């Protein structure tokens, strides 16, 4: 979701973390962000005017250090595509919940070690049932207000996640 990509990239950058954030979806790539997504992003000081969608691929998932899905069904699709990406693939809401429970990543702690903590007591079967607990609402086709609600939800989740995922560097 381009809004999630833009929000995460901005929050990481503001914290001083240099990371490549890229969104990809299950549909054919090359499409611009929707008009409503661009409007909501612009209102938040984000620019999606040059965004073009990317279709998710095994190569993209395989190269990613962390894969964040917007819904359980998306995470399941990714597990079919790249089964060994399980330990680094989470629906966003589950990732935030597990990160808050496990605590933030320590300075210098490798991401893979922190993700091991988050995966404690986690099973692949947890992705089987659909439900709102781990899904960010998809606003496509629902109008500007739906995009605004989705943006606020994503922004809140990323505000909670980023300090746990990428602790700020120590002051110089």
Task: Give per-residue pLDDT as tens, 136-150.
Answer: 888 877 888 888 999
In this predicted structure, the answer to whether residue 60 has a pLDDT above a threshold of 70 is yes
Output the average pLDDT for the chain.
Answer: 86
* Res. 171 pLDDT band, cuts 50 70 90: low
What is the reported pLDDT for 140?
74
Q: pLDDT digit string (tens) for 71-123?
A: 888 888 888 889 899 899 999 999 999 999 998 998 888 889 999 999 988 86
CA atoms of 54 and 64, how far apart (whole Å) = 14
Three-class SS of residue 19? Answer: coil
Token pair belonging to 52 = 């073009």
In this predicted structure, the answer to whether residue 159 has a pLDDT above a threshold of 90 is yes
* Res. 32 pLDDT band, cuts 50 70 90: confident
Are 167 and 114 contacting, i.e. CB atoms less than 8 angstroms apart? no
Provide the CB-side half-sphere exposure for 19 (13 A, CA): 24
What is the reported pLDDT for 127?
65
CA atoms of 77 and 127, how far apart (whole Å) = 10
Q: Which helix (H) or strand (E) holds 128?
A: none
Token pair belonging to 96 = 């935030």
Residue ranges of domains in the chain, CATH in brackets: 2-165 (3.40.50.2300)
Q: What is the CA radius of gyration of the chain?
A: 16
């Amino acid at each position: 979701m381009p809004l999630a990509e833009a929000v995460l990239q901005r929050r990481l950058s503001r914290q001083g973390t240099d990371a490549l954030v890229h969104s990809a979806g299950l549909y054919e790539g090359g499409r611009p962000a929707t008009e409503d997504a661009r409007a909501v992003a612009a209102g938040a000081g984000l620019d999606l005017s040059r965004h073009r969608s990317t279709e998710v691929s095994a190569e993209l998932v395989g190269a990613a250090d962390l894969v964040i899905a917007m819904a359980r069904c998306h995470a399941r699709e990714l597990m079919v595509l790249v089964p060994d990406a399980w330990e680094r693939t989470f629906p966003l809401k589950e990732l935030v919940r597990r990160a808050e429970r496990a605590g933030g990543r320590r300075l210098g702690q490798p991401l893979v070690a922190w993700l091991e903590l988050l995966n404690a007591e986690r099973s692949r079967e947890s992705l089987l049932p659909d439900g709102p607990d781990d899904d960010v609402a998809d606003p496509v086709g629902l109008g500007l207000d739906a995009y605004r609600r989705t943006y606020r939800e994503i922004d809140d989740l990323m505000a909670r996640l980023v300090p746990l995922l990428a602790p700020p560097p120590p002051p110089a």
